[in-house]
Amino acid sequence: MRLSVLVVDDEPLAREGLKLLLGRHPQVESVSEARNGREAIALIREKRLDLVLLDVQMPRTDGFAVVHAIGAELMPPVIFVTAHDQYAIRAFEIAAIDYLLKPVSEERFELAFKRAVNRLQTAPHEDATKQVLAMLGAIANPPRQLERFAVRSGENTIFVPVHEVDWIEAFQNYVRLHVGPSTHLLHVPMNVIEGVLDSNRFLRIHRSHIVNIRRIARLWPIAHGQYAVELKSGQRLQSGRTYSERIRRTLTNPF
């Protein structure tokens, strides 16, 4: 099987990294690249492509908008690439072949590529069309974001608006909500909490820390690509190494 692949990402280094990984596979006959959603739409319409590695978050025309613009009949099979777990979960739920979380590891890429090749060899075109239709349906009906937490307090339940939370801390199988001087304990894993939060408002900066972006006062780099984050409350937190790229993408100017 010979494959024509399109890599779509607004970051040159990300495109080069994916092209390098694709180049190790003899099945890949050609690799095109697009720097943004508009270029991606033009190339998909122009070329006969077998697979698209599609960045979800791009300025103006994002990955989901590309899928929507092309439509089910013409959209090739997609592997989403994203720096945000929430988009990755959504892509997986809407039946994309796979997703890759930035920074893309070689091991994870190989797994996704193998899955894509198997799908292309075994699934008929109508299955790919169903996949895109499922994507379009999910785009038209995005999942609701959590608006408040219900917290048990003795015999009572109190409600904490999500926008009032400063940061969230993992605590064994619980999370601790920090709201001003108050804290609230919820018996739910960190990953579940992250999945229901608005990624435009909350950012995971560490395996154990999610912060309200609007509560961040200062940010500065420290050793090994990590960041120190100071909230308006004066609370200081340290990011994890694997979260540096998403912090940079979210909290620095997009130019």
Nearest to 127 by CA among 75, 174, 169, 66: 75
Question: Closest Cα to residue 233, out of 176, 163, 180?
Answer: 180
Over residues 138-171, the pLDDT tens digits come to: 555 555 567 888 887 777 778 899 999 999 999 8
Instruction: Tell me the two tokens of residue 69.
Output: 């613009």
pLDDT in tens, 95-141: 567 778 777 888 889 988 988 888 888 765 556 556 655 655 555 55
Whole-model pTM? 0.54
Domain C-terminal end among 86, 121, 156: 121
Region for 172 from its dihedrals, namely left if φ exceeds 0, alpha if ψ lies in -120 to 50, beta otherwise = left
What confidence tens digit (pLDDT) does each residue in 53-87 have? 999 888 888 888 888 888 767 788 888 887 765 55
Burial status of residue 2 (CB atoms within 10 A of its CB: 0-12, 13-18, 19 or more): exposed
The pLDDT mean for the chain works out to: 83
The one-letter amino acid code at 141 reads N
Contact by Cβ (8 Å): 170, 190: yes
DSSP-derived secondary structure letter, 129:
H
Q: What share of the chain in percent tops pLDDT 70?
A: 84
User: Looking at the domain assignment, is residue 221 inside a domain?
Assistant: yes
Domain count, the chain: 2
Strands (E), the chain: 3-8, 28-34, 51-55, 78-82, 98-101, 148-153, 156-161, 167-171, 174-179, 182-186, 202-206, 209-212, 216-221, 227-231, 236-238
Residues 163, 241: one domain?
yes
pLDDT at 216: 94
Task: Give burial (CB, 10 Å; 0-12/13-18/19+) of 124.
Answer: exposed
Is the residue at 139 inside a domain? no
Please give the residue range of the domain that contains residue 154.
Answer: 148-251
Asked if the structure places residue 9 within a domain, the reply is: yes
CATH of residue 63: 3.40.50.2300
Question: Which of 16-30, 52-66, 202-216 is the least confident region?
Answer: 52-66
Residue 156: the pLDDT is 75
Mean pLDDT, rounded, for 23-43: 95
pLDDT confidence of 225, banded at 50, 70, 90? Answer: confident
Give yes or no: residues 56 and 158 share one domain.
no
Residue 246 in tokens = 């998403």
Give a yes or no: residue 116 inside a domain: yes
What's the whole-number mean pLDDT along residues 173-182? 91
**Residue bearing the bigger pLDDT, 159 or 43:** 43
Q: Is residue 69 part of a domain?
A: yes
User: Do 114 and 180 fall within a single domain?
Assistant: no
Instruction: Give every CB contact of residue 212 below 8 A, 6+ residues apart in sequence.
Output: 163, 165, 166, 167, 201, 202
